[in-house]
Amino acid sequence: RSAWGVAQGNKWLADSIDTWSRGEKPRRQQATLLKRYFELSKGSEPGTAAVKIDLSKGVVSPFDHLFRRYASTIGWDWRLLASLSFKESRFDSTVVSWAGARGIMQIMPRTARAYGLTDEAMTDNNANISTAVKILEALDKSLASRVPERSERRKFVVAAYNSGLAHILDAIALAAKYGMNPQVWDGNVEQALLLKSNPEYYNDPVCKYGYFRGRETSSHVSSVFAFYDQVCKNIRQ
């Protein structure tokens, strides 16, 4: 929530701002901003999948060789990395989200630059995937002390890749405070993340990073791992 502040004695200015803010155009703009920053995720569903999925052929995508190459550098199953990419972009390197996330792994430009990936190289699948793996590795290291079990931690990493690390740290803290298991995602930290849309919880002293609408991240993690399970049933590692 936000408000305008004016100097004492400037009641005329406060009244003018109140009148303006109730106008049709400001209300439309406020609704648009609210939806953009609090209701939408960084990603967006591509209208048409760039790659048609047929797991019966023993492949996930034409980029499986890249997923194999880079997943091995961080000890991930390549099929999980491919599943994350599928849910991020449907393997469409041309997709650009409303927030500016780009490429097959939907990396935010500011994050990409921090890892040495130029704007021009964002749509290069090789560079995009290799950078995403570096990001995943950094998230894994940040979460290792809080979630020691490696396979369980991957759910936290996928969540942080979607929402940002800060909100996941808040959810871990909330889970610990309110009797949930802070080292388990399903039904625990996942539920705590959903609480961050409630003022009672996002204003809690242990919650340092404020409001977050966690439904999209919760759904994203479930979708990634559901697709991963499907891939594992059809394709050997």
Tell me the CATH number at 48.
1.10.530.10
pLDDT tens across the length of the chain (237 residues): 567 899 999 889 999 988 988 888 888 887 777 665 655 555 545 444 457 788 998 999 999 999 999 999 999 999 999 999 999 999 999 988 877 899 999 999 999 999 999 989 999 999 999 999 999 999 999 999 999 999 999 999 999 999 999 999 999 999 999 999 999 999 999 999 999 999 999 999 999 999 999 999 999 999 999 999 999 999 988
Closest CA to 171 of 188, 152, 149, 153: 188
Q: Is residue 13 part of a domain?
A: no
Whether 101 and 119 have beta carbons less than 8 Å apart is answered as: no
What pLDDT shows up at residue 50? 59
Q: Is the dihedral of CA 184, 177, 165, 194 positive or negative?
A: positive
Task: State the distance between the two ends of the chain, measured CA to CA, in whole angstroms.
Answer: 48
Q: Does 104 fall in a domain? A: yes
Q: Using an 8 Å Cβ cutoff, are 104 and 126 in contact? A: no
User: By residue range, what is the domain housing residue 116?
Assistant: 40-234
Distance CA 179, CA 33 (A): 35
Catalytic residue among 39, 45, 88, 152: 88
Residue 1 lies in a domain: no
Q: What is the C-alpha separation between 223 and 184, in angstroms, rounded?
A: 17
Q: Is residue 10 included in any domain, yes or no?
A: no
pLDDT in tens, 168-188: 999 999 999 999 999 999 999
Q: Is residue 155 part of a domain?
A: yes
Contacts of 66-73 with CB under 8 Å at 24 or more apart are 66/125, 66/126, 66/129, 67/129, 70/129, 70/130, 70/132, 70/133, 71/133, 73/133, 73/137
Environment class of residue 20 by beta-carbon count within 10 Å: exposed (0-12), middle (13-18) or buried (19+)?
exposed
What's the maximum distance between 2 C-alpha atoms anywhere in the chain?
74
Number of domains in the chain: 1
* 152 counts as catalytic: no
In a domain, 25, yes or no: no
Residue 166 domain-assigned?
yes
Residue 28 within any structural domain of the chain: no
